[in-house]
Chains A and B, each alone.
Chain A
Amino acid sequence: MGPTAALQDVEVDYRGRGRALGPVSLTIEAGEIVALVGPSGCGKSTALRLLAGLEPATRGQVHRAVGRGETSVVFQAPTLAPWMSAAANVALPLELAGTPRPEARARAIEALARVGLAGIGESRPAQLSGGMAMRASLARALVTRPRLLMLDEPFAALDEITRRTLADDVLHLWSEARPAIVFVTHNVEEAAYMASRIVVLTRGPGRIAGEVRVDAPLPRPPGFRAWPVFAEAAEAVSGLLAAGAEAVA
């Protein structure tokens, strides 16, 4: 099986703002977890939208080996529709794809249970805490059993304890079906903890400053943050970030 998605010499220009990204080449292999790290405005969210097929590239080529409905995105905010219950929100991707409502609802309840939200199906998003809403959003992304899962700074608005728990939960969920995961973050420790490969982008318009591999078991064993591999990876990423910022400045 070939790569799940790839960018080849891709550039993105936004009208009125000029170059936002590139040139960038990046290959996402099936089942790997890749972190995109870079300073604000380096185009990492743009790269994510390209890989998800939500945006066209101005130049270069985007290859996607996944079909419609096999890609899921978790955005920065939970992005749940306030007028629908949690279960209805999670069932939405299935219903849009034509799954009959009772079956979609049943699978939604099941997906909610898998992210630790059993029994809150009838609650509205406004009744959920920030962490719970993010979990519901994760359940909505997983309900279609995607082969490519995109996370766009998904835990940025959460407190440290919640984000650590969620990081472990995402890794456990990943180990069940092993989708390829691409996630964007500007948190170096989070990248080193969750990803098997960390791609560092330079200051905008982003180009690839370098890559760091984290050779350690996934999901992470307890106490992984004290391992030398973790500290070395974080150091290497920080070094690349600093070099990437200088290269442009």
Chain B
Amino acid sequence: MNRAIDALAPAALILLLLAGWEAACRLTGVPAYFLPPPSKVMLAAVSGLTVLVPAAWNTLSVALVALVLAAGAALALALLVGLSPLLERAVRPLASALQVTPVVAVAPLILIWAGIDHPERAVIALAVLVAFFPIFSGTVTGLRSADPDLERLFDLYGASRLQRVLRLRLPAAVPFLMEGLKVGAGLAIIGAVVAEFAAGSGGVRGLAWQILDAGNKLQTDRMIAALVVLAVMGVAVHAGLERLERAGLRWWRGR
């Protein structure tokens, strides 16, 4: 009984807020271009579904490609850094500088480098840039997280550097890597959307472009519909990754 109420509570709140919104629009007669009622947004979403779904897929696929590229680069660099403390000291400040620089600020430069004809490359590159850091720093931390007594055991039996990395440090880093991938995936979506905004109407037809286009035409209902799709997509990706992470941890721990 309690669990049913728990599960229904968020849905009830959303319905309540939507009802209040709808009522407020109708009672005050606020113009639809300023604040459309949820019923209009729903209509816009349904009629625009054939456009919104491919746009969402466009953004999502960019984020996924970026995630794979970022994961590969981050893992490779983390391994190099893990093997050499000197390299780590050299890389740290650069990596931090990259991390704290906002994507929007870097976007114009990357757009120029990608070339006028290939804004989609710039969007992927920018999403890679934001997804890289959490995976990299997670893996670096993970590579150092092995039990010190297990490290001593590897000393005792004279393990080579390669054996130590492959049989101890890398497997010990797996939970950290999974956490990094989860955070990185969320950031890749944000990065992709921000980069699309920066690319403007340059031919990248993702969700951000839908929002921009509708905004230019003052079609507020379409804007909100695209935002809702973006939010739903984000929640779905997060929930999926959360599940994957838990399954991965169960496999790693054997329980």
- Could you tell me which A residues sit within 8 Å of B by CB distance? 49, 52-54, 68-69, 71-73, 75-77, 79, 81-85, 92-93, 96-97, 123-127, 144
Mark interface residues in B239-255 (1 if CB within 8 Å of A CB, else 0). Answer: 00000000000001111
Check B153 against A126 for contact (C-beta < 8 Å).
no
The stretch among B48-56, B72-80, B85-93, B156-164 that forms the contact with chain A is B156-164
Partner of B155, one of A54, A124, A125: A54
Check A73 against B254 for contact (C-beta < 8 Å).
no
Q: Which residues of B contact A72 (CB under 8 A)?
A: 156
Interface of A is mostly: loop
Cross-chain pairs A/B with CB under 8 angstroms, 11 sampled: A53-B156, A54-B155, A69-B158, A75-B152, A77-B149, A83-B171, A83-B174, A84-B171, A93-B153, A93-B157, A126-B255
Q: Which residues of A contact B152 (CB under 8 A)?
A: 49, 54, 73, 75
Q: Which residues of A contact B114 (CB under 8 A)?
A: none
Q: For the complex, count residues of B whose C-beta is within 8 A of A.
A: 21
Check A69 against B157 for contact (C-beta < 8 Å).
yes
Partner of A124, one of B149, B150, B167, B253: B253
- The A-contacting residues of B in range 132-180, CB under 8 angstroms, are 147, 149-150, 152-159, 163, 167-168, 171-172, 174
Q: Which residues of B contact A81 (CB under 8 A)?
A: 150, 168, 171-172
Check B156 against A79 for contact (C-beta < 8 Å).
no
CA–CA, A72 to B253, complex, Å?
Answer: 25
Partner of A96, one of B163, B171, B172, B254: B163
3 closest cross-chain pairs (CB), A and B: A124-B254, A126-B255, A75-B149
Which A residue sits closest to B160, measured CB to CB? A96
Instruction: Take A54-B152, A75-B149, A96-B163 as given contacts and tell me if A127 and B254 are in contact as well, using a CB distance cutoff of 8 Å.
Output: yes
Minimum CB–CB distance from B149 to chain A (whole Å) comes to 4
Q: Which residues of B contact A127 (CB under 8 A)?
A: 254-255
Q: A54-B156, A71-B156 are in contact. List 18 more A-B contacts (CB 8 A).
A: A54-B155, A68-B158, A69-B157, A72-B156, A73-B152, A77-B147, A81-B150, A82-B253, A82-B254, A84-B171, A96-B158, A96-B159, A124-B254, A124-B255, A126-B254, A127-B254, A127-B255, A144-B157
Check A79 against B171 for contact (C-beta < 8 Å).
no
Q: Which residues of B contact A125 (CB under 8 A)?
A: 254
Check A83 against B253 for contact (C-beta < 8 Å).
yes
Check B253 against A97 for contact (C-beta < 8 Å).
no
Instruction: Take A79-B147, A96-B158 as given contacts and tell me if A73 and B153 are in contact as well, using a CB distance cutoff of 8 Å.
Output: yes
Which B residue sits closest to A80, measured CB to CB? B150
CA–CA, A17 to B153, complex, Å?
Answer: 25
Q: Which residues of A contact B157 (CB under 8 A)?
A: 68-69, 92-93, 96-97, 144
Minimum CB–CB distance from B174 to chain A (whole Å) comes to 7
Check B158 against A97 for contact (C-beta < 8 Å).
yes
Minimum CB–CB distance from B51 to chain A (whole Å) comes to 46
Q: Which residues of A contact B154 (CB under 8 A)?
A: 96
Q: Which residues of B contact A75 (CB under 8 A)?
A: 149, 152
Minimum CB–CB distance from B246 to chain A (whole Å) comes to 15
Partner of B149, one of A53, A79, A84, A85: A79
Which B residue sits closest to A152, measured CB to CB? B149
CA–CA, A97 to B153, complex, Å?
Answer: 12
Which B residue sits closest to A78, measured CB to CB? B149
CA–CA, A96 to B155, complex, Å?
Answer: 10
A52, A54, A83, A124: residue with the most chain B Cβ atoms closer than 10 Å: A83
Minimum CB–CB distance from B255 to chain A (whole Å) comes to 4
- The A-contacting residues of B in range 101-145, CB under 8 angstroms, are none
